[in-house]
Amino acid sequence: MGRRKKDVQPDLKVKKLSPMEKLVLSQHRSLLLGKLVGGLAHEIKTPLSFVKQYNKISSNLAAELQQFFEDRHSNFTPKDQEELTEIIETFLDSNNEVSDSATRIDRLIKDLLFQFQSPVIMPSLVNTVVEENVKLAYHTMRATDKQFNTGITYDLDPDLGLIDLSSDFNLVVVHLAINAFHSLSERKLSNSNFKPQLIVTTRNTVAYVEISFHDNGVGLSEEMVGKIFEPFFTTKPDAFGLGLSCVKDIIAKHNGQIKVAASPNNYAKFVIMLPREVA
């Protein structure tokens, strides 16, 4: 037998894409991913609407059952009263868990869809955008935690003027402010004498507009600073970890940067640096 020839692999040449081709390919992939996410969101929202509807019916039935038991409480033996009370409480707790889970799924869908919306870019007063959205974040925090209170100091450069911002930049300010408020609230819980403070600053430099959020909350470890912008990284049990990832993406679309300085149980400072024009 003759010697067996070695398999000859074809000489495959990978085409090197030009910057424009890379951009078109990236946009095409983003479009397809957006359609996929939109389709999945639609498929999830349909059964989710039924879950929410039947959860509402269950809540009404639970209220009726509790009222029925209270009206006829004396007709049951002490042992039956104890067992029925436990059953009703378990039913109510389970129903509340379903409601909370449905709300979280709904919020996750909205966050995912938001990332594929096409924002509108327009000249904006930076100080106005910052101050209005910090106030919005504060009232949002107060709506969920009536005990929350903090000092907010605004140090806004009056000469900042207009800068091109996309409509989704509001989310950047809201997320960073909310994160600061959660940090302040957490530290306040462990120290009743603690005085929470958030300092919001804007500055006009030669090359950039700077926006900073400096809080004296629980701070961040060096390890956490390296991970907080990763998608789905979170330290909160009821969060999805998309907030800061979304913040970084929006700032990147402005050709900007975000830097973090922090110390555990001391402070955290987020500094946004935006060029004057959106590329």
Please write the tens of the pLDDT for every residue from 250-259: 898 899 999 9
Residue 215 lies in a domain: yes
Calculate what percentage of the chain has a pLDDT beyond 90.
25
58 touches 94 (CB < 8 A): no
145 in the same domain as 102 = no
Strands 257-263 vs 267-275: parallel, antiparallel or unpaired: antiparallel
Q: How many domains would you assign to the chain?
A: 2
Residue 182 lies in a domain: yes
- pLDDT of 20 reads 46
251 in the same domain as 192 = yes
* Domain coverage including residue 141: 123-275
Q: Identify the CA nearest to 48 among candidates 117, 108, 132, 131.
A: 108
Q: Residue 250, class by beta-carbon neighbours within 10 Å (0-12 exposed, 13-18 middle, 19+ buried)?
A: buried
Give the mean pLDDT of the chain: 80
133 in the same domain as 166 = yes
Q: Which of 4-8, 69-73, 270-274 has the highest mean pLDDT?
A: 270-274
Q: Model confidence at 171, in pLDDT bands (50, 70, 90)? A: confident
Residue 133 lies in a domain: yes
- pLDDT of 30 reads 57
Residue 11 lies in a domain: no
pTM here?
A: 0.58
Report whether pLDDT(271) > 60.
Answer: yes
Which one of 77, 95, 114 terminates a domain?
114
Task: List beta partners, residue 268.
Answer: 215, 262
- pLDDT of 24 reads 47
More confident residue, 121 or 131: 131
Segment 16-39 mean pLDDT:
55
- pLDDT of 150 reads 92
Other beta carbons less than 10 A from residue 116's beta carbon = 15
Residue 64 lies in a domain: yes
Residue 6 lies in a domain: no
- Taking the CA atoms of residue 27, residue 112, residue 122 and residue 130 in that order, the dihedral angle to the nearest 10 degrees is -140
